[in-house]
Amino acid sequence: MTRQPAVAGRAEQLLSSSVISTAPVAGGDVSSAVKLRLSSGRTAFLKSLTQAPPQFFEREAAGLRWLAEVDDGVATPDVLAVDSDCLILGWVETTRPGQDAASAFGRALARTHLAGAPEWGADADGYIGRLPLANQPLPTWAEFYVERRITPYLRVARDKGLVAAADADLIERAAARVGEVVPDEPAARLHGDLWNGNVLWGQEDRVVVIDPAAYGGHREVDLAMLTLFGLPQLPHVMAAYDEVAPLGDDWQERLGIHQLFPLLVHACLFGGGYGARAAKIAARYL
């Protein structure tokens, strides 16, 4: 049994429980992560970041709570404490993905989306990974997608030489067609960063989502991200989703236009071939 005094002490300042032991958790791209065993018998997860950007953890906690408001919607970990430098959540014990869990997750995700949002955007800006995420509302999904989701990251990628000028032009032109390509629907309650790494397959067929970048957007955005980066048991997830919230015709053919956003985010964060991949997808819509 080990105990990191500084980490344990910080957790104890925020929780009404002593920390018996701590253990580092691997896998975080942005924050340091630690598993905590508390004197109450509970296990918790602490993520921290020295000199975190303003409201970094507070916005994540708000997103988790917003998603958790939906009865029978997607499960989220309990928010035990949050401050400017850290977030403490209930621990999620994971297991292998199964078909029953996937179907339950698909239905829950559909209910979360159907719960809706008051506008295209959110009442506060947030973060996706360590990048700022602008959420100021706009009147239509097409305007919001171009101005808040494509333009900021395409500009950064282009300025840093992470996407070629010709590829940037393809992406811009394709994004401008989102209003023609994507059906008009009410704003959905989105997780916003729903890739495989943010989906935890918990015990007793309970799937838990973490690290949201939540806002009101088009529901196909979450589905496009699940598809882009792969999710175990995805066909079962989508079949169950469609039972609760039937998808429009040709929804799979539209996923690519929604995938431009996460690919540009990845280009800004990691470089590599993500910009070229976005351009290749964009060309399908021209």
Burial degree of 159 (CB within 10 A; 0-12, 13-18, 19+): exposed
- Rg value, the chain, Cα: 19
3-state class of 237 per DSSP? helix
Which tokens sit at 16?
């009404």
In terms of phi and psi (left: phi > 0; alpha: psi -120 to 50; beta: otherwise), the region of 272 is left
Residues 264-274 as b/e (b if ≥16 CB within 10 A, e otherwise) read bbbbbbeeeeb
* Token representation of residue 125: 């800006």
> With contact defined as beta carbons under 8 Å apart, do 186 and 217 qualify?
no
Residue 193 bears catalytic tag: yes
User: In what helix (H) or strand (E) does residue 113 lie, and over which residues does it extend?
Assistant: helix 99-115
Give Cα separations from 108 to 72, 122, 141, 177, 221 (angstroms). 6, 22, 23, 30, 16
Per annotation, catalytic residue among 71, 83, 125, 193 = 193
Q: Which residues are annotated as catalytic?
A: 193
